[in-house]
């Protein structure tokens, strides 16, 4: 009797994880080490298809083993090399916010009868009244005395 693969796969989709584990053990003649539902469905479907259509030939299996012999099997992706990351950050361009004008530009705001001028510096900092600030929010806090979003205070909020 020939299996109808589409019906079998549809039946697999309706099975519980426990039932899939039992079906896996039945087909592969060993218990599964996982309870990942999607993986089990795919693996069982592959086995059913191999039973109906035929598995790899012995020649293909030997060739696959030849190709795989001596290769390092990676289970997890490699960890990022910390020295490489540091070099990229150190030598790369400073990340800039699209809301900010180009370095050297003055941001002008009228506030409580005063005209305020903040200079955008090339290193990502800001200059206000001869002092350097790391953020526009720090400048806004200096001006207002309370925490204020710097982009909002200087009218740069919606320019993203």
Contact 151, 142 (CB under 8 A): no
How many Cα atoms occupy the beta-carbon half-sphere of 79 within 13 Å?
Answer: 3
Among 68, 91, 119, residue at a domain's last position: 68
Give the CA angle between residues 70, 72, 77 to the nearest 5°: 170
pLDDT digits (tens, 9 = 90+) for 83-94: 433 333 333 444
DSSP E strand boundaries for 93-152: 106-111, 114-120, 126-128, 131-133
Residue 32 maps to a domain: yes
How many domains would you assign to the chain? 2
- What span, in angstroms and rounded, lies between the C-alpha atoms of 113 and 128? 17
| Parent domain of 12 | 5-68
Name the domain boundary from 15, 46, 68.
68
Q: How many CB atoms lie within 10 A of CB 150?
A: 22
Last residue within a domain, chosen from 68, 90, 118: 68
What's the CA gap between 7 and 13, in Å, rounded?
A: 10
Q: Is 76 part of any domain?
A: no
Instruction: Please indicate, yes or no, if residue 142 is contained in any of the structural domains.
Output: yes
Residue 94 lies in a domain: no
Look up the pTM and report it. Answer: 0.41
Judgement on whether residues 114 and 60 belong to the same structural domain of the protein: no
In terms of Cβ atoms closer than 10 Å to its own Cβ (0-12, 13-18, 19+), residue 140 is buried
- Is there a domain that residue 92 lies in? no
pLDDT in tens, 123-142: 888 999 999 999 999 999 99
pLDDT per residue, tens digit, the chain (160 aa), is: 567 888 988 999 999 999 999 999 999 999 999 999 999 999 999 899 888 888 888 898 899 888 887 776 666 666 655 443 333 333 344 456 778 888 888 888 888 888 889 998 888 889 999 999 999 999 999 999 999 898 888 888 775 5
């Amino acid at each position: 009797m020939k299996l109808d693969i589409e019906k079998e796969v549809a039946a697999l989709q309706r099975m519980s994880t426990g039932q899939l584990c039992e079906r896996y053990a039945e087909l592969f003649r060993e218990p599964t080490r996982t309870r990942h539902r999607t993986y089990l469905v795919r693996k069982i479907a592959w086995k059913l298809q191999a039973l109906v259509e035929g598995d790899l030939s012995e020649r293909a299996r030997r060739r696959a083993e030849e190709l795989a012999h001596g290769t390092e099997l990676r289970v997890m992706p490699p960890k990022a090399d910390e020295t490489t990351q540091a070099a990229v950050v150190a030598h790369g361009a400073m990340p800039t916010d699209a809301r900010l004008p180009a370095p050297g530009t003055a941001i002008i705001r009228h506030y409580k009868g005063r005209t305020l001028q903040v200079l955008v510096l090339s290193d990502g900092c800001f200059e206000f009244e001869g002092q350097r600030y790391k953020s526009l929010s720090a400048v806004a806090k200096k001006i207002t005395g309370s925490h204020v979003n710097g982009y909002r205070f200087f009218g740069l909020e919606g320019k993203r």
